[in-house]
Structure 1
């Protein structure tokens, strides 16, 4: 799974093979069974591993249960967040603390099956950067969960050009270098394949098992739909215009200004040629608004360009990603440190 190629000294070499990350929120009945299932699967492999459970401000006794379990599982690391931030920040915290070359994520409610982890990693080893689970036989309510999910998956696929059957499945395997390139906000955890695709990741999807919820109640509701739609617009903008915001704002601004100038020219000609009264015409107001809106949009484009350059240059973050560099001399690789693939 790990490359035999030695990375340059500036790359942090992962100390483990697999990090299994699961956000937890009010799963006191499930968390013990979840740990038992993950450990049983991982102990049958030859991989070194850790299990990272991120408690997202649980209030039902989950925290006390996790303090007990950490004494029984030497591979377990528990992260307690100060309050309930949501699944995306919880996953980001787990990614930050992971120390392995491959990171596997799954839900903490026992609906994902840890037995699928070896299969995901086997597919990952075929040259992919991210393998996403597909709950082909999903055990959820058809009206409240399955239908909205199908619509969301279709819409996300259309907008992002990354066509997956199941964006909402938390069971995924990532190469570490892909996760390190991702910054998560809002509800962006469900768009991780699309965000990884923007970074040049090779993505695969594989059917996985799915079980009906045994304990507790679902943390998902229709109230999340609006937030997901807003984040989808964010992902669309990142995909299309992340490094060239002027292309969208500047283009719309120029179109708006030209439209306003044309209308203003028409009204001016009308006034000069026919001495018509144009002062009370709505068309004059529209022309003025179009010019003002065009100037504002063009200014947004300029500000966006400045912010983009500040974002990339202040962090020394390149606007490209190199998958691999081939050279006869190891010294040549060292000169390009930080860009060598660990595949």
Structure 2
């Protein structure tokens, strides 16, 4: 079987050769054939020239040079599109992911899992700025998506080709690949992997990514639960809002008719009207979303289901 290793990078000139040599050591001991896809995400140092020199020595090295810095998700997506292996592995270029863990991922794929994700159980990063926010985020993502993993942020993952080729990534969604793939009914497992301190260069991650991750999490949750039935989420909110508004208006009308209580000088009447209008708007949004959902699936012939296997009797048995 063939393996494609996807490595997005940005200004990692001191790490590239070390990482390449470590991967080659793993490949030399493996019964798999390896190709390495480096995705240069707009580096401004000598990363690209180093990659070109490596490629001259090894034709199994593929270089994708992006026109500018598009971000890790886009770089991984470019690598996935170019990969030709039956098993696709993603990893960082900063040497914190250990290539020696690649056989662990491949063993789990051989056991029948569709996605194998790394768990940096002994993470070598600052606690308050990196580890603590990551732990909180992992709990929230696991609870929201119902896919319980210890470490969504670990780039070191392995995928069967048919799984990753069916996924399109946007924003910062590379960390949500296991959750997105779960909607296809695939099997996922997690393995403990080594995590090493960064030796050269600086981290490209910051606390500012938190807001983008939260927004992408909302998107992922919507896609997992309601992409083919958006009226269920918008319609529910519309009925709740409109129902509360109607109850408030009905109560005030009853008070006016039987107790002579004034309505015009009470702010609740405006709140009830607002809630009913908002309810109508939510239901209208749901109907529009339903039409967009159908256009999205039908125009691209995108299935609303994923088949694992088809079993048929032979013609001889049927006759």
Q: What corresponds to 2:94 in structure 1?
A: 109
Which moved further from structure 2: 134-143 or 288-297? 134-143
Which moved further from structure 2: 36-45 or 244-253? 36-45
Q: What corresponds to 2:282 in structure 1?
A: 297
Secondary structure of 2:191's aligned partner:
strand
Between the aligned partners of 1:38 and 1:312, the Cα distance in structure 2 is: 40
Q: What corresponds to 2:142 in structure 1?
A: 157
* Cα displacement string for residues 204-242 of structure 1 (whole angstroms, at most 9, x for unaligned residues): 111111111110011111111111111111111122212
Q: Among residues 315, 326, 333, which one is paired with 2:300 in the alignment? A: 315
Please state how far the C-alpha of 1:47 moved relative to its aligned partner. 1.8
- Whether 1:96 and 2:81 are equivalent positions in the alignment is yes
Please state how far the C-alpha of 1:201 moved relative to its aligned partner. 1.3
Secondary structure of 1:100's aligned partner:
coil
Q: What corresponds to 2:170 in structure 1?
A: 185
Please state how far the C-alpha of 1:184 moved relative to its aligned partner. 0.6
Between the aligned partners of 1:231 and 1:191, the Cα distance in structure 2 is: 9
Between the aligned partners of 2:315 and 2:148, the Cα distance in structure 1 is: 39
Secondary structure of 1:54's aligned partner:
strand
Counterparts in 2 of 1:332-343, with a 5 A limit? none
Between the aligned partners of 1:147 and 1:319, the Cα distance in structure 2 is: 37
Secondary structure of 1:234's aligned partner:
helix
Counterparts in 2 of 1:134-153, with a 5 A limit? 134-153=119-138
Q: What corresponds to 2:256 in structure 1?
A: 271
Q: Among residues 218, 223, 226, which one is paired with 1:241 in the alignment? A: 226
Between the aligned partners of 1:51 and 1:326, the Cα distance in structure 2 is: 36
Between the aligned partners of 1:117 and 1:180, the Cα distance in structure 2 is: 20
Distance 1:330 1:80, change over 3 A: farther
**Would you identify which runs of 4 or more consecutive aligned residues in structure 1 move more than 6 Å?**
none
Which moved further from structure 2: 140-149 or 288-297? 140-149
Please state how far the C-alpha of 1:119 moved relative to its aligned partner. 1.6
Secondary structure of 1:256's aligned partner:
helix
Distance 1:260 1:58, change over 3 A: same
Q: What corresponds to 1:13 in structure 2?
A: none
Q: What corresponds to 1:81 in structure 2?
A: 66
Between the aligned partners of 1:53 and 1:121, the Cα distance in structure 2 is: 20
* Cα displacement string for residues 70-118 of structure 1 (whole angstroms, at most 9, x for unaligned residues): 2122110000111111100000000011111110010001111111112
Please state how far the C-alpha of 1:325 moved relative to its aligned partner. 1.3
Between the aligned partners of 2:315 and 2:12, the Cα distance in structure 1 is: 50
Between the aligned partners of 1:330 and 1:246, the Cα distance in structure 2 is: 44
Between the aligned partners of 1:275 and 1:140, the Cα distance in structure 2 is: 68
Q: Structure 1, unaligned stretches of length 5 or more? A: 2-16, 332-343
What TM-score results when the alignment is normalised by the length of structure 1? 0.89
Between the aligned partners of 2:260 and 2:150, the Cα distance in structure 1 is: 64
* Cα displacement string for residues 150-209 of structure 1 (whole angstroms, at most 9, x for unaligned residues): 111111111111111111111110001111221111111111111111111100111111
Q: What corresponds to 2:4 in structure 1?
A: 19
Between the aligned partners of 1:330 and 1:130, the Cα distance in structure 2 is: 35
- Whether 1:119 and 2:104 are equivalent positions in the alignment is yes
Q: What corresponds to 1:327 in structure 2?
A: 312
* Cα displacement string for residues 10-43 of structure 1 (whole angstroms, at most 9, x for unaligned residues): xxxxxxx111001010101001111111122113
Between the aligned partners of 1:171 and 1:320, the Cα distance in structure 2 is: 28
